[in-house]
Amino acid sequence: MQLEHRLSVPAPVDEVWSALLDPERVAPCMPGAALTGVDGDTFTGTVKVKLGPVALTYKGTGRYVERDEQARRAVIEANAKDARGNGTVTATITIALTGEGAHTYGIVGTDLTITGKPAQFGRGMISDVGGKILEQFADCLSTKLGPDAAVPPGDGDAATPVTADGASAGSEVSTPAPSTPAAPVGETAPVGETAPVGETEPVGETEPLDLMQYARGSALRRVGPVIGLVALVVLIVAVALRRRA
């Protein structure tokens, strides 16, 4: 089936693009995902999916089959198999980014094939859950790429001007500093205080920022199970169960 979702991150398109191309930066933001290896354009990992009583562990590989720097378009092919034999998932994911100043919009198209129990399922639920996962992913990226992100020294210039407020409902308390690099403020993303790179320790942040603290420097965070990209499959499974009546 064909799904389409939209992505919105309050960070410049260059940063979002480079983050998306790096599985080691994508994985920590994908709920329930853990990277087990990266080899050039190919990466392997597991996605633990928990929804209601069902918990599946999908193991698989992904590959960047296309990267168009000019058009900011990437295509990833992924396939995974449930560890306990509950079916497989294959997906071709096409991401196209457009930047508008300090904000990035993306269209994510997914060509999804599901086998096994999940096969008897409706696209509505999959699409909804896929959308929510992408939202979580975008929120997570926002926190990592926004101005409150504590960028490790030497990791490039991450002078994003607008506070990434969209991450969670928590209030953000950043310490403004006079030496903030000039950049356009007041995009569609909520207006916040600008913060210098690598210096701010926002107080009273909610979860997403904690993620950032762990991901600082070269230590990459392996996120534990929550709801994975294939959560939709779980739903399918759970829904499919009742069809057995």
Partner 1 sequence: MIPAAFDYVAPTTLDEAVAALRDAGDDAKVIAGGQSLMPVLRLRMADPSVLVDLGRVDGLRGTRLDGDTLVIGATTTHHEVRHDPFVAEHARLLTEATATVADPQIRHRGTIGGALAHADPAGDLSAPALAVDAEFTVIGPQGSRTVAAADFFEDYFTTALRPDEILAEIRVPLHTGWAARYEKFHRVAQQWSIVGVAATIDTDGGTIRHAKVALTNMAPVPVRARTVEDALVGRPATVDTVRAAALHATDCTDPMSDANADAEYRGHLAQVLTRRAVTTAAGL
Structure tokens at 49: 């999916």
CB of 206 to partner 1, least distance (A): 16
Q: Is 174 exposed, middle or buried (0-12, 13-18, 19+ CB in 10 A)?
A: buried
Contacts of 99 (CB under 8 A, 6+ apart): 12, 13, 14, 16, 72, 105
CB of 85 to partner 1, least distance (A): 8
Contacts of 166 (CB under 8 A, 6+ apart): 8, 10, 138, 139, 142, 189, 190
CB of 165 to partner 1, least distance (A): 23
Q: Among residues 173 and 241, whose Cβ is nearest to partner 1?
A: 241
Q: Among residues 55 and 183, whose Cβ is nearest to partner 1?
A: 55
Residues making contact with partner 1 (CB under 8 A): 51-56, 84-86, 117, 120-125, 128-129, 132, 234-235, 237-239, 241-245
Structure tokens at 119: 């096969």
Q: Quick one: CA dihedral 215, 221, 226, 232, positive or negative? A: positive
Q: Among residues 18 and 206, whose Cβ is nearest to partner 1?
A: 206
CB of 106 to partner 1, least distance (A): 23
**Cα angle 198-32-57, degrees, rounded to a multiple of 5:** 155
Q: Among residues 125 and 220, whose Cβ is nearest to partner 1?
A: 125
CB of 113 to partner 1, least distance (A): 16
Q: Among residues 113 and 188, whose Cβ is nearest to partner 1?
A: 113
